[in-house]
Amino acid sequence: MCARRFSPWGDRTRRGQTPPRRLSEVTITEGLPETAWIVKARRGRGSRGLRRHSTTAELLADAKGAADGDQWIAQPVVEGTHFSIDVVNDLDRTFRAALVREKHEMCNGEAARATTVAPDRFLGLAAALSAVTRHQGCIDIDIVESPEGTTLLDVNLRFGGAYIYSHAAGANIPAALIAWRAGIDPDPTWLTPTPGWTRDRSDLDGAFVGE
């Protein structure tokens, strides 16, 4: 399978873009772009331990002082539009849906404000990832769309923190999982939340307790 953070940018070097690397691999600045960098724990959570460097020289200094560089990933900052996507498979590991949110604001590593988005243009990516992971249920991915293309930032083998926005907009993946386990087809609306639905997280936290 895959760790929470891995190196999914296999073709980015061929496209002239810089893939992420372990901090222990950052030993010289030669060949590295002069750009801002993010350093984050390979198996971290949210923004815990997140470090941002405005120059490659700062990144190099961080790498030289790191005693556990294998446990940290360094990657160039990618500017663009951020999306969170739940890739949903049934219990036979067949791709069934992609639940998409555009993230407008972040707080403590979670989407603080988001809008549900129609999944159409993301279905190819979601189905391709589903074919690789062959998971049951839901995995959460984070991507960035920029003029240079689409960058896969993160893969979480669980429900993502932004799922709550899709659930509030009509999705119900827990109910779909129970239906599949019972051998019946889930209500199609559980896999198709209403697009264009914008909320602050503070409006939603605790809203589904006891549902």
pLDDT reported for residue 6: 38
pLDDT reported for residue 128: 95
Element (H, E) at 58: helix 56-65
Phi/psi for 198 (5° steps) reads -110, 135
Tokens encoding 177: 């999982």
Q: Enter the pTM of the model.
A: 0.74
171-202 exposure pattern, b = at least 16 Cβ within 10 A, e = fewer: bbbbebbebbeeeeebeeebbbbebebebebe
Contact indicator for 111, 101 with CB cutoff of 8 Å: yes
Report the length, in residues, of the chain: 211
Contact indicator for 36, 54 with CB cutoff of 8 Å: yes
Instruction: Name the E strands within the chain.
Output: 21-22, 37-41, 51-53, 72-76, 81-89, 95-107, 110-117, 137-146, 149-156, 198-200
Per-residue pLDDT of the chain (211 residues; tens, 9 = 90+): 333 333 444 444 334 456 677 777 777 656 677 788 778 777 665 555 678 888 888 887 888 777 777 777 777 777 889 999 999 999 999 999 999 999 987 666 677 788 999 999 999 999 999 999 999 999 999 998 888 788 887 888 888 888 999 999 999 999 999 999 999 999 999 999 999 988 877 777 665 544 5
Tokens encoding 204: 């939603």
pLDDT reported for residue 204: 77
Q: Which residues pair with 144 in a beta bridge?
A: 82, 151
**CB-based contacts of 187, cutoff 8 Å, min separation 6:** 172, 175, 176, 179
pLDDT reported for residue 205: 66
Contact indicator for 23, 66 with CB cutoff of 8 Å: yes
**CB-based contacts of 40, cutoff 8 Å, min separation 6:** 5, 49, 50, 51, 72, 73
pLDDT reported for residue 47: 56
